[in-house]
Structure 1
Amino acid sequence: MNVLIIEDEKRTAQRMEKLLGEYDPAIRVLAQLPGVAKAVAWLADPANSRPELVFLDIHLEDGSGFQLIEQAKLTIPIIFTTAFDEYTLQAFKANSVDYLLKPIDADELGTAIDKFKNLRASPTPDLTDILHLLRETSGSGSPSVAYKERFMVTIGTKIRSIETSDTAYFFFADKSTWLTTAEGLNVSIEYSLDKLGDLLDPKRFFRVNRAFLVALDSIQTIHAYSGGKLKLDLRPPPRLEVFVSGDRITPFKEWLGK
């Protein structure tokens, strides 16, 4: 079976390909594509093999998966891979399109592929109903904005759901992105800080420098230094001192004043 992975997080795409190979070594991943433009070009190239199934992220590097569906006039069966679990996604299943909530669970992936195999003998699912649903829920031709409400994380052998409202900040260290809860728990997550900037409510979270994305509620004290520098005391205290980058000071002050 030939499949296509359209996902802008390289580590997530690589993990997806690994899980697919473990599920069925006969599955062939034709390509991993990070965005709408590259996917449209790849699908339009007659030299490329036709995929039988597409794994599609909703938020891509240059647009949304729904834009890709429209631009490429995509009718290939799709399994959405997403960070969201709002009610809109639940409706996709009624249209013979499944979705997987990140981080991808191996058993759920297998179930989704089994569902696809059972539907293969039927006509290809029509995506018109999905696009119509999106327009109805957004009130326009584009999907409405929905911010991530929780994160599924693995702690040892246990899986835990952490509410975004319980998150103090995110930071990058040791080649990984970490989530810190209000109680001081640090857990690794499969998102870059750039990606989190798209997923989180900008009224509540701000990227203060290259390594930290902080929640408004986590800022305890702001220290002003000569030269306009700003140092933040966060709750709970991080391992390193946190300064607002020079190019972010003005938008940071504007954000605080909203």
Structure 2
Amino acid sequence: MKILIVEDEELSAERLHKLILTIDPSIHLLGIFPSVLQTIAYLENEASVKPDLIFLDIHLEDGDGFKIIETLNLMTPIIFTTAFDEYMLKAFKTNSIDYLLKPVNPLELQASLSKFKKLSEVSENKRKNIDNDPEVQTYKDRFLCSAGSRFYTFKTTEIAYFVIEQRATFLRLFDGRHFAVEYSLDRLSQIIDPAIFFRINRNMLICFNSIENIHMISAGKIKLDLDPAYSKEIFVSTDRITEFKIWLGK
């Protein structure tokens, strides 16, 4: 595996590199870059060896690390390493593998590298399966709901989340309206696209586009703000956090 480290703090970059080599000595460092411009120049150069994975700090000596992604329309997988948690949602809307807060925890780093390897294997297997099987699975793209004597049809793209309330399942639209649906969350998880919807806990299945903010309360607790807002605080179940981060980075 070939990596780049984009980090303007020399000691942080060296520590990260040592941690990476401790986890996997076969990983090859292509370079350490402290700035947006130097990183862009390297990646734009056709003669440069391209990385398989980039470790990216957000606050660099000449600006915002996101500018690298936006300027190059970068598709290389990224593990963000930063001291700030407020960029988590923006990071996961890029091709992010994980978001690690400084000082980087060795166990979290190891989990991130394992996640990258697993996702790479899944992506390769999926590509092979698609090549071998032209039939692609389809998911439910609309729902029929009723209110009184009237019936309504909604596209799945209009739905912000599904939630269980008083033992019944409801869908909430991005415009704020909500309707009962005759599906359990277990069944919904099977019939709608898992790349777009994720079951964060026992009572809620959310659309990626409904996520407004992500708060890392602690290593084992994540709180979400959704749009439209929900009446109660929303937490990702502890046993789903790793899978949730993988889903965010897809």
TM-score range, shorter chain: 0.3 to 0.5
Higher relative contact order (CA 8 A, sep 6+): 2
TM-score normalised per structure 1: 0.46
